[in-house]
């Protein structure tokens, strides 16, 4: 589901609102309640719903569970590290 950025022309408040592409764009500012909310042109963000759709539907063969089996590092699991071998936060 897309996440859109909006800007209030009345009070200057900026917010992100998640709604379907087919839904009408909101016009009421959540802060000042004025009917002057406009969509900001930006890179659209989105949230994937459900559990593991990419893992189960689009990966195949040896590529499945690549994130769980990859121990080459490349990034921290959490800011404090996860304790697993290869976690980038543990190397710091």
What tens digit of pLDDT does each residue of 25-37 get? 999 999 999 999 9
Total structural domains in the chain?
A: 1
In a domain, 77, yes or no: no
Q: Render pLDDT for 9-23 as a digit per residue (tens, 0 to 9).
A: 999 999 999 989 899
Hunting for tokens 């769980």 — which residue is that? Answer: 68
Whole domain around residue 22: which residue ranges?
2-46
* Domain contains 26: yes
Cα distance between residue 18 and residue 35, in whole Å: 18
What pTM, to 2 d.p., does this model score?
A: 0.48
Is 52 within the bounds of a domain?
Answer: no
Indicate the average pLDDT of the chain. Answer: 74
CATH number of residue 40's parent domain:
2.20.28.10
In a domain, 7, yes or no: yes
Q: Tell whether 82 is covered by a domain.
A: no
Residue 42 lies in a domain: yes
pLDDT at site 72:
46
Q: Do 17 and 37 touch, CB atoms closer than 8 A?
A: no
Tell me, yes or no, whether 56 lies in a domain: no
């Amino acid at each position: 589901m897309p996440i859109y950025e909006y800007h209030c022309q009345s009070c200057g408040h900026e917010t992100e609102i998640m709604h379907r592409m087919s839904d009408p764009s909101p016009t009421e500012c959540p802060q000042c309640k004025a009917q002057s909310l406009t969509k900001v042109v930006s890179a659209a963000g989105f949230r994937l719903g459900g559990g593991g759709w990419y893992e189960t539907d689009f990966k195949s063969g040896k590529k499945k569970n690549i994130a769980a089996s990859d121990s080459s590092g490349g990034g921290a699991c959490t800011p404090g590290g996860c304790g697993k071998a290869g976690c980038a936060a543990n190397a710091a």
